[in-house]
């Protein structure tokens, strides 16, 4: 504990972008605590799951607060996570320590799986039809559908298994977080100059005080959100009780799934859409496969800033497209942006690789 927290050497020039890992760990820990408390009163049965959530909100002492902190806290987790990944790409952390990058992408996949299963648990219309959409995507693997859903359609065994997986995944996340921190501290973290530096300071109290200052800002933002906008980040249709005979006008997931959902809608073939859905995240593993001398990363990133900025802009546009109705013009925009997303990623990877080959002796 002393070597990893107290006397752990950190670069002197770290800015507030390097606080995001600490904030992400705190938000995940808060999600685990509130989730365990909510699970004490939640019932994973399709006939009583919705009413158990209403019971938590209305009858349990400060249950509305636990419910809002847990549901809104997922948005804070993914907001910090997206900025954390963006910082890692911008500052070349995937070059500096590829093992940390690989473990981080695995953590990203686990968080997305846990968040989706948690979104199904309130058993509202969006939860039910979102689970049905993902269940239908697994139709090429009938054995996998039966193992995950407990049958060939979304029913009572599906909700029970999703509750079980949603409860267990955070404990698996803790193991991967420990591995992520081990690889990070094994080589030391990157810095804004993207260079090896001997100008280092101990983690406590200098970096710790900076982390606490960032935590205070996140806490202030959460205080503004939870009491005054409890469900402002959730779809209002999901506050109703599910009915299998009524399909919502627009099936839309939470905002942090809109990018993948837009790609899924843009591809007319179901199997091809499932491949695009998975590859849109797994393609980030290629960033860690590029080997580079750390002294070269600064020049590479400075010359490739336009491609990275275009990549971030394409993600924001795809997020907006994912929230729109599945009309022909938005589907066309989604197809163009999906192609552009992969094109920009390939450009970034090719430029990195070519410059590394030229720069190596």
Q: What is the pLDDT of residues 141-200, one digit of tens each?
A: 888 888 888 888 888 999 999 999 999 999 999 999 999 998 988 877 888 877 677 788
Any idea which of 26-40, 58-72, 112-126, 296-310 has the lowest mean pLDDT? 296-310
| pLDDT surpasses 50 at 357 | no
Largest Cα span, the chain: 70
CB atoms within 10 A of CB 352: 23
How wide is the angle at C-alpha 196 spanned by C-alphas 194 and 198, nearest 5°? 130
> Among positive and negative, which fits the CA dihedral 250, 253, 254, 257?
negative
What pLDDT score does 296 carry? Answer: 45
**Distance (Å, whole) CA 69 – CA 100:** 29
| pLDDT surpasses 90 at 223 | no
| Whether residue 36 has a cis bond before it, omega within 30° of 0 | no
Contact residues for 139 (Cβ-Cβ < 8 A; gap 6+): 145, 270
The domain locations on the chain are 253-361
What pLDDT score does 102 carry? Answer: 93
Q: What is the DSSP string of 236-277?
A: GGGGSPP-TT---SS----GGGHHHHHHHHH-SSHHHHHHHH
What is the SS3 assignment for 9?
A: strand
Is residue 70 within 8 Å of residue 170, measured between CB atoms? no
Is residue 74 within 8 Å of residue 130, measured between CB atoms? no
Structure token digits, residue 145: 């559908």
More confident residue, 140 or 337: 337
**Distance (Å, whole) CA 62 – CA 96:** 45
Which run of H or of E encompasses 322? Answer: helix 305-322
Is residue 283 within 8 Å of residue 224, measured between CB atoms? no
| Bridge partner residues of 296 (DSSP) | none
Q: What is the pLDDT of residues 52-80, one digit of tens each?
A: 999 999 999 989 888 888 988 898 999 99
Q: What is the pLDDT of residues 317-328, one digit of tens each?
A: 999 999 998 889
What pLDDT score does 39 carry? Answer: 94
DSSP 8-class letter at 204: I
What pLDDT score does 227 carry? Answer: 66
| pLDDT surpasses 60 at 97 | yes
**Distance (Å, whole) CA 118 – CA 52:** 15
**Distance (Å, whole) CA 296 – CA 358:** 11
| Bridge partner residues of 11 (DSSP) | 200
Tokens 């509130």 belong to which residue? Answer: 34
């Amino acid at each position: 504990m002393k070597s990893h927290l107290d006397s752990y050497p950190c670069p002197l020039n770290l800015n507030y972008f390097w606080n995001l890992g600490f904030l992400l760990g705190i938000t995940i820990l808060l999600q685990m605590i509130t989730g365990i408390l909510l699970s004490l009163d939640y019932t994973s049965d399709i006939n009583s799951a919705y009413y158990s959530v209403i019971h938590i909100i209305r009858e349990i002492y400060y249950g509305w607060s636990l419910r809002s902190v847990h549901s809104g806290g997922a948005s804070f987790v993914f907001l910090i996570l997206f900025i954390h990944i963006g910082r890692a790409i911008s500052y070349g952390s995937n070059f500096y320590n590829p093992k940390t990058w690989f473990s981080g992408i695995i953590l990203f996949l686990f968080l997305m799986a846990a968040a989706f299963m948690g979104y199904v648990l309130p058993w509202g219309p969006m939860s039910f039809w979102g689970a049905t959409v993902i269940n239908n995507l697994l139709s090429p693997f009938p054995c996998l559908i039966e193992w995950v859903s407990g049958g060939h359609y979304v029913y009572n065994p599906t909700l029970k298994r999703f509750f079980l997986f949603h409860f267990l995944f955070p404990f698996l996340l803790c193991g991967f977080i420990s591995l992520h921190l081990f690889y990070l501290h094994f080589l030391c973290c990157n810095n804004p100059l993207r260079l090896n530096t001997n100008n280092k300071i101990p983690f406590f109290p200098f970096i710790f005080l900076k982390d606490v200052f960032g935590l205070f800002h996140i806490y202030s933002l959460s205080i503004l959100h939870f009491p005054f906008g409890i469900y402002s980040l959730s779809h209002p249709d999901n506050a109703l009780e599910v009915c299998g005979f009524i399909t919502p006008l627009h099936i839309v997931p939470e905002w942090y799934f809109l990018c993948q959902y837009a790609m899924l809608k843009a591809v007319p073939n179901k199997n091809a859409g499932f491949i695009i859905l998975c590859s849109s995240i797994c393609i980030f593993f290629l960033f860690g496969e590029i080997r580079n001398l750390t002294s070269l990363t600064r020049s590479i990133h400075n010359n490739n800033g336009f491609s990275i900025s275009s990549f971030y802009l394409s993600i924001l546009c795809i997020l907006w497209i994912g929230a729109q109705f599945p009309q022909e013009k938005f589907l066309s925009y989604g197809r163009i942006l999906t192609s552009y997303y992969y094109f920009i990623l390939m450009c970034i990877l090719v430029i990195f690789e070519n410059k590394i080959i030229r720069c190596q002796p």
